[in-house]
A = this chain, B = another copy of it.
């Protein structure tokens, strides 16, 4: 299905400046795909600070285990990402494969295996032949260049219909720094892919602990607030690197340093940009849906209710059908398990209030509500009327194309 670009794809790509201290190269190692790149090498010529967040799955992939173990070192020299095989649920072979890949990368780059990070996306359960990396990583290290972000984004795609890139700048103590990021999305292909990967790098000089605090805080309202189909990958990985090569910037040691104010905002904005690009490329997606819950008991309750709405197959099929079916939003609020009072509930589609005080809005207009649903970007809001908790999450519609993409045979 990836021959057809999502109608929700961005109309153009930003220019992606190089990040000082980071070079990249891609190659076609023939993991699974033909006639396309499937390996990305990121090289930090001097150690970069690194932070990471990973899937909450109890059955994580071998690369996730590998990255988690290395993260305590706080330093990165090389990142190897492949598409075509997730190296997930591959038992002892999986660990052997990550060990061999890390060894190949450390030899190519000239670093310790404790400074290598790995991510894989593709088939689950098939052993990954890591010998294929050994042959290409040395050449990749030699060829790696700074202005390569769009190509990097392409090499990690699976059923994504477009590459996902974003860039921002910020000032730290008067010095301008750059943040770049790429992501691959919740395209869950035959055979069995369900992985979100994202790699973000900055030339800012920030200590690993501070970087981790920034990233952990930043994902809550961004990558952890998007859902395509409620299915959590074994392999979700988001890594953030800081090369510290911005001219003249004095190193930031702690996340509460006031100099980080602008950087934090720029980072969070970039994370949101990438996360929403992932949703806009959700399998079979034709509509982007923003779900905002207000008036919940607290923010945690608001997010649970918002996800209950965003994950409801009945809400998502209604959006696909351009049907202003607010009864299903009532249903989804009711099933969330969070405190709700039917008779205080109000619901909007866009700016059109469709329900209030536990019943249909007295001035309800089917035509006005339907006009909202015919847009490409749809906002659903539910006010619970009980407290001050708020949350916003993003999802896409559930279409026949989603079923077609995921119901095909693996062969």
A223 to chain B, nearest CB (A): 16
Establish whether residues B58 and A337, one from each chain, have CB atoms under 8 Å apart when the complex forms: yes
Contact with B along A43-62 (1 / 0, CB 8 A): 00000000000011111100
Q: Is A257 an interface residue (CB 8 A)?
A: no
Contact with B along A300-337 (1 / 0, CB 8 A): 00000000000111100110111111111011111111
Establish whether residues B407 and A334, one from each chain, have CB atoms under 8 Å apart when the complex forms: no
Contacts of A89 in B (CB 8 A): 327, 330, 342, 345, 355, 358-360
User: CA A334 – CA B59 in complex, angstroms?
Assistant: 5
Establish whether residues B190 and A331, one from each chain, have CB atoms under 8 Å apart when the complex forms: no
Q: For A56, A229, A327, A358, which residue has the most chain B Cβ atoms within 10 angstroms?
A: A327
Q: Which residue of B lies closest to A398 (CB)?
A: B403
Establish whether residues B406 and A314, one from each chain, have CB atoms under 8 Å apart when the complex forms: yes
Establish whether residues B191 and A327, one from each chain, have CB atoms under 8 Å apart when the complex forms: yes
Establish whether residues B125 and A327, one from each chain, have CB atoms under 8 Å apart when the complex forms: yes
User: CA A177 – CA B89 in complex, angstroms?
Assistant: 53
A77 to chain B, nearest CB (A): 28
User: CA A283 – CA B124 in complex, angstroms?
Assistant: 30
Q: For A60, A326, A338, A408, which residue has the most chain B Cβ atoms within 10 angstroms?
A: A408
- Tally of this chain's copies: 2
User: CA A113 – CA B403 in complex, angstroms?
Assistant: 48
User: CA A312 – CA B229 in complex, angstroms?
Assistant: 8
Q: Which residue of B lies closest to A320 (CB)?
A: B407
Contact with B along A168-188 (1 / 0, CB 8 A): 000000000000000000001
Establish whether residues B327 and A88, one from each chain, have CB atoms under 8 Å apart when the complex forms: yes
User: CA A134 – CA B404 in complex, angstroms?
Assistant: 48
Establish whether residues A328 and B359, one from each chain, have CB atoms under 8 Å apart when the complex forms: no
Q: Which residue of B lies closest to A332 (CB)?
A: B231
User: CA A404 – CA B121 in complex, angstroms?
Assistant: 31
Establish whether residues A407 and B331, one from each chain, have CB atoms under 8 Å apart when the complex forms: no
User: CA A317 – CA B92 in complex, angstroms?
Assistant: 30
> A323: which of B332, B366, B410 is its contact (CB, 8 Å)?
B410
Q: For A57, A322, A324, A408, which residue has the most chain B Cβ atoms within 10 angstroms?
A: A57
Q: Is A211 an interface residue (CB 8 A)?
A: no
Q: Can you add 14 more A-B contacts, CB < 8 Å, to A192-B328, A317-B402?
A: A57-B331, A57-B334, A58-B334, A58-B341, A60-B334, A60-B342, A90-B360, A125-B360, A232-B331, A313-B313, A313-B398, A318-B407, A321-B406, A400-B403
Across the A-B interface, give the 8 residue pairs with the lowest CB-CB distance, nearest first.
Answer: A124-B327, A91-B359, A59-B334, A321-B407, A57-B334, A232-B335, A192-B327, A317-B406
